[in-house]
């Protein structure tokens, strides 16, 4: 089986082949000889097709005729599935030690060979596809301003689901998310996962449970933490990410059933304990840092591997922004605005003038877009056949599908407790997430209110509410939250009088 992708600069194609007589160079032998292949241009998937193939020549011919490549490089090694080989096809390129390590690593760790088909009857595959698609549409899918689900996205989605149901294989999806808490104390109540993470995980669990009930092989979700991808950009130390991830695992282990979910991060994806890794070949790759944070050696190495293997280059991105490409310019400006908000009270950036802060945030925004694209490419390589969920407001045309992490039936996003109308977000970056918000509960109200932590703090300071922080218990799958009680009008008047008495040191009648 093959999944094909295309890019102006280079192409990477992951596939599984029936075992046949092959003349290409065996990848494991090349590794032992220390001769590996470099992918300097990065990888980007834009379409998926599935093919059966019995030899490499037909694969090469297909690449040449369908994708316009005059020459391709094909690498393979034995798959974990007996009788199959896992392989990768690249546009012809120069070989270096680092990249053939990367190719070998992809073939060893991508989830091609883990999609084991079941021996059970697959006659109901189409029925299962339709039911799962309906469950996603009704319970998990986010609807964006530019939504294209009905036009093209639904067909794309069902095609991916059908890849699994046609084999009666466990449905698998991946979700890059849960990096770490924002360091902005006006947004979050601390650095530890709280009620927001709990609600998000339970919402995901409910969807997986609904699939498990109707589809016998069940479903598995891979959460791929992007904490180490962006931590230095948002002013969070790598140790903060590590601690957050460890705490999140405690919640996950309590909330989910065995086999329903797995949490991965960059160090796990790249398996840094692999003694075949050519460390020196990426040490020269510079990662810019614009905010001082605690940098861990392993995490920094992961960022270097990510950018050396999956980044498509600065030039094209800079060109699109300079030429005011509508999509890229909107994304760039959105990142700048987002980072200005997120770093608003950061101790390093706060002393700078408004224009200087904007300039720093512009540099960070550019770097974050680069890393985001590289990370997206990496996820597609490691999970080439999986459903790709996203916490951003994509158009849902595929290959990524935006999801709501927080249930609408239990949670309400607000900008103020005095105005509980739901805010409208028209960009990719402002879909509410637990790591950029806090959770508030008001006595007598079953709704969880999701918003910035300063909403609760101001409500108490202004005398509208009494409040306290209810601690969580991560090992029990419980997260902390703000508990608020409305103050009656006469109490508010008495509180205001007491405050004025204190300010003026004389009774105010």
Is 391's pLDDT higher than 60? yes
Q: Is the pTM here over 0.75, yes or no?
A: yes
Q: Go through 160-192 and write b for each residue having 16 or more CB atoms within 10 A of its CB, e for each that does not.
A: bbbbbbebbbbbbbbbbbbbbbbbbbbbbbebb
Query: Which backbone phi and psi does 178 adopt, to 5 degrees?
Result: 55, 65
> What string of H, E and C letters represents the secondary structure of 479-509?
CCEEEEEECCHHHHHHHHHHHHHHHHCCCCC
Instruction: Using alpha carbons, select from 34, 45, 55 the residue that is nearest to residue 104.
Output: 34
Q: Which of left, alpha, beta for 27 (phi over 0: left; psi -120 to 50: alpha)?
A: alpha
Is 43's pLDDT higher than 70? no
**pLDDT tens per residue across span 270-283:** 876 655 565 666 66
In a domain, 269, yes or no: no
Residue 34's pLDDT band (cuts 50, 70, 90): very low
Residues 28, 78: Cα–Cα separation, whole Å: 9
Which residues span the domain enclosing 478? 411-486
Domain boundary among 95, 123, 138: 95
In a domain, 29, yes or no: yes
Residue 338: CB atoms within 10 A of its CB come to 20
DSSP class per residue in 318-386: HHHHHTT-HHHHHHHHHHHHHHHHHTTT-TTTTTS-HHHHHHHHHHHHHHHHHHHHHHHHHHHHHSTTS
In a domain, 470, yes or no: yes
Q: Which residue has the higher pLDDT, 92 or 314?
A: 314
In a domain, 211, yes or no: no
Per the DSSP assignment, residues forming a β-bridge with 438 are: 451
For residue 399, say if its preceding peptide bond is cis, omega within 30 degrees of 0.
yes
Tokens coding 435: 């790591």
Domain boundary among 40, 67, 95: 95
Tokens coding 298: 């392993």
Give how far Cα 370 sits from Cα of 255, 319, 387, 399, Å: 34, 13, 23, 19
Domain boundary among 95, 117, 151: 95
- Rounded to the nearest integer, the mean pLDDT of the chain is 79
Residues 48, 45: Cα–Cα separation, whole Å: 8
In a domain, 67, yes or no: yes
In a domain, 228, yes or no: no
Our count of domains for the chain comes to 2
Per the DSSP assignment, residues forming a β-bridge with 141 are: 403
In a domain, 446, yes or no: yes
**pLDDT tens per residue across span 220-264:** 999 999 999 999 999 999 999 999 999 999 999 999 999 999 999
Residues 302, 281: Cα–Cα separation, whole Å: 13
In a domain, 70, yes or no: yes
């Amino acid at each position: 089986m093959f999944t094909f992708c295309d890019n102006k600069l280079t192409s990477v194609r992951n596939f599984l082949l029936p075992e046949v007589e092959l003349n290409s160079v065996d990848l494991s032998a090349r590794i032992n000889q220390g001769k590996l292949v470099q992918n300097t241009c990065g990888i980007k998937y834009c379409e998926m097709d599935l093919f059966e193939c019995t030899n490499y020549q037909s694969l090469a011919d297909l690449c040449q005729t369908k994708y316009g490549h005059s020459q391709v490089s094909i690498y393979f090694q034995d798959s974990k599935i007996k009788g199959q080989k896992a392989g990768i096809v690249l546009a012809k390129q120069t070989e270096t030690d680092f990249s053939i390590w990367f190719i070998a690593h992809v073939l060893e760790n991508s989830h091609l060979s883990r999609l084991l088909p079941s021996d059970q009857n697959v006659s109901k595959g189409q029925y299962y596809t339709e039911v799962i698609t309906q469950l996603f549409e009704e319970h998990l899918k986010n609807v964006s301003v530019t939504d294209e689900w009905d036009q093209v996205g639904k067909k794309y989605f069902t095609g991916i689901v059908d890849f699994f149901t046609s084999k009666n294989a466990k449905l698998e999806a991946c979700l890059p998310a849960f990096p770490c808490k924002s360091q902005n104390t006006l947004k979050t109540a601390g650095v530890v996962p709280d009620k927001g993470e709990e609600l998000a995980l339970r919402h995901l669990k409910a969807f997986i449970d609904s699939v498990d009930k109707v589809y016998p092989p069940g479903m598995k979700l891979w959460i791929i933490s992007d904490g180490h991808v962006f931590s230095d950009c948002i002013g969070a130390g790598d140790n903060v990410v590590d601690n957050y991830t460890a705490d999140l695992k405690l919640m996950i282990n309590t909330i989910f059933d065995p086999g329903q979910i797995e949490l991965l991060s960059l160090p796990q994806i790249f398996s840094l304990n692999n003694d075949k890794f050519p460390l020196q070949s990426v040490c020269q790759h510079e990662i810019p840092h614009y905010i001082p944070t605690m940098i861990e050696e392993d995490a920094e190495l992961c960022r270097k591997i990510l950018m050396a293997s999956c980044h498509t280059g600065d030039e094209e991105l800079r060109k699109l922004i300079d030429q005011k490409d509508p999509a890229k310019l909107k994304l760039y400006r959105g990142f700048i605005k987002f980072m200005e908000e997120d770093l608003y009270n950061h101790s390093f950036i706060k002393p700078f003038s408004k224009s200087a802060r904007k300039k720093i945030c512009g540099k960070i925004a550019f770097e974050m877009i680069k890393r985001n694209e590289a990370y997206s490419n990496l996820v597609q390589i490691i999970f080439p056949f999986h459903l790709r969920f996203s916490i951003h407001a994509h158009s849902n045309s595929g290959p990524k599908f935006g999801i709501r992490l927080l249930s609408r039936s239990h949670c309400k996003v607000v900008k103020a407790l005095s105005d509980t109308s739901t805010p409208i977000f028209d960009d990719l970056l402002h879909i509410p997430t637990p790591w950029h918000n806090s959770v508030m509960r008001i006595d007598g109200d079953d709704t969880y209110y999701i918003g910035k932590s300063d909403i609760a703090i101001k409500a108490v300071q202004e005398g509208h509410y009494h409040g306290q922080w209810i601690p969580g218990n991560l090992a029990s799958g419980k997260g902390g939250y703000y508990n608020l009680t409305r103050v009656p009008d006469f109490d508010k008047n008495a509180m205001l009088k007491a405050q004025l008495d204190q300010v003026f040191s004389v009774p105010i009648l």
